[in-house]
Amino acid sequence: MLRYALLRILGAIPTLLLVIALAFLMVHAAPGGPFDDERVLPADVAANIESAYRLDDPLPQQFLAYLSGLVRFDLGPSYRYVGYTVAELIAIALPYSLQLGIMAMVVALLLGVSAGTFAALRQDTVLDRVVMGFSMTGISIPIFVIAPVLALLFAVKLQWLPAGWSGAEGAGRLVLPVVTLALPQIAYLARLTRASMIEVLGSDFIRTARAQGLGMPRVVRVHALKPAMLPVLSYLGPAVAAILTGSVVVEEIFGIPGLGQLFVRGALNRDYTLVLGIVVFYAALIVALNLVVDILYAVIDPRVRYR
């Protein structure tokens, strides 16, 4: 297992390097610079600033210097947030994004797996069609449409929940962002769980358990649920990635000071190191989550062995 994990980590290094290189080239290809604003700086001042941040170096040299910093876990200073490093800004914003993402994932797992299981047990009934219809709707509507619709309905029209983070207190300010992020994942997980559960319920060992007189609730809980969760488990890596990238839109709409909002601010301000730092952090997190999912496969399914 340890050897497999180390090989996966080593295999992820070229992927991370490619992501870093593409992100580096894209942010430097954007017009303007991090110190361009409405007031034009004198030529000597602009030259001194670029020299201090090594922006006047050739692009390959800047890239190698950035990689050298990454090896030492140094993401560099922020160009626009004076006195802060990129690592410090990520550390400040990360708790908000983690809270939002974890809550959305827990809600999606509980509701999605439950809905998919009930739909599989009531296959081709009204309940099954309702669950699948909701799932198709949730998959079809993008997050940037769901967020303003929920805010308009529950915050503006009904005034049940706050529409933004600032000025609101308590857990109520998290309801709309969490629901917005969770809805598409509930839909995907419900469809995935239903298909997997139907396949497992048709297996020989399930028929044997039923022939021994076990009730359907116990058969599902003890025998069917664990193997049915294998496709769901494999989807969790991409699902967490979708929640993280979806939080960019949600945090901006609801004013949550997390990594998503920080990323948007960095892109608008052409804060190269901040944008690159968040991209590298997201890429490393997604690689780590996929590794955890692969290892959990062996925990859930004893037939899986990593050599």
Residue 3 lies in a domain: no
- Please give the Cα distance from 122 to 128 (Å, whole number): 6
* pLDDT band at residue 281 under the 50/70/90 scheme: confident
Q: What total of structural domains would you count in the chain?
A: 1
Q: At what angle do helices 172-201 and 86-121 cross, to 10 degrees?
A: 50
Per the prediction, the chain carries an average pLDDT of: 80
Question: 116-163 pLDDT, tens per residue?
Answer: 888 888 888 888 888 888 888 888 888 888 888 888 888 888 888 887
Residue 77 lies in a domain: no
Residue range 79-87: mean pLDDT, rounded: 84
Could you tell me the two tokens for 245? 């990238």
Residue range 106-113: mean pLDDT, rounded: 91
Residue 225 lies in a domain: yes
Residue 109 lies in a domain: yes
Of 205 and 186, the structure prediction assigns the larger pLDDT to: 186
Could you tell me the two tokens for 16? 């991370």
Q: What is the pLDDT of residue 165?
A: 72
CATH number at residue 270: 1.10.3720.10
The pTM is what?
0.78
- Domain, as residue range, for 203: 86-300
Residue 1 lies in a domain: no
Question: For residue 197, is pLDDT > 80?
Answer: yes
Residue 49 lies in a domain: no
- Please give the Cα distance from 282 to 159 (Å, whole number): 35
Residue 72 lies in a domain: no
Residue 48 lies in a domain: no
Question: 41-59 pLDDT, tens per residue?
Answer: 556 555 656 666 666 677 7
Question: 222-261 pLDDT, tens per residue?
Answer: 778 878 888 887 788 778 777 776 678 888 888 888 888 8
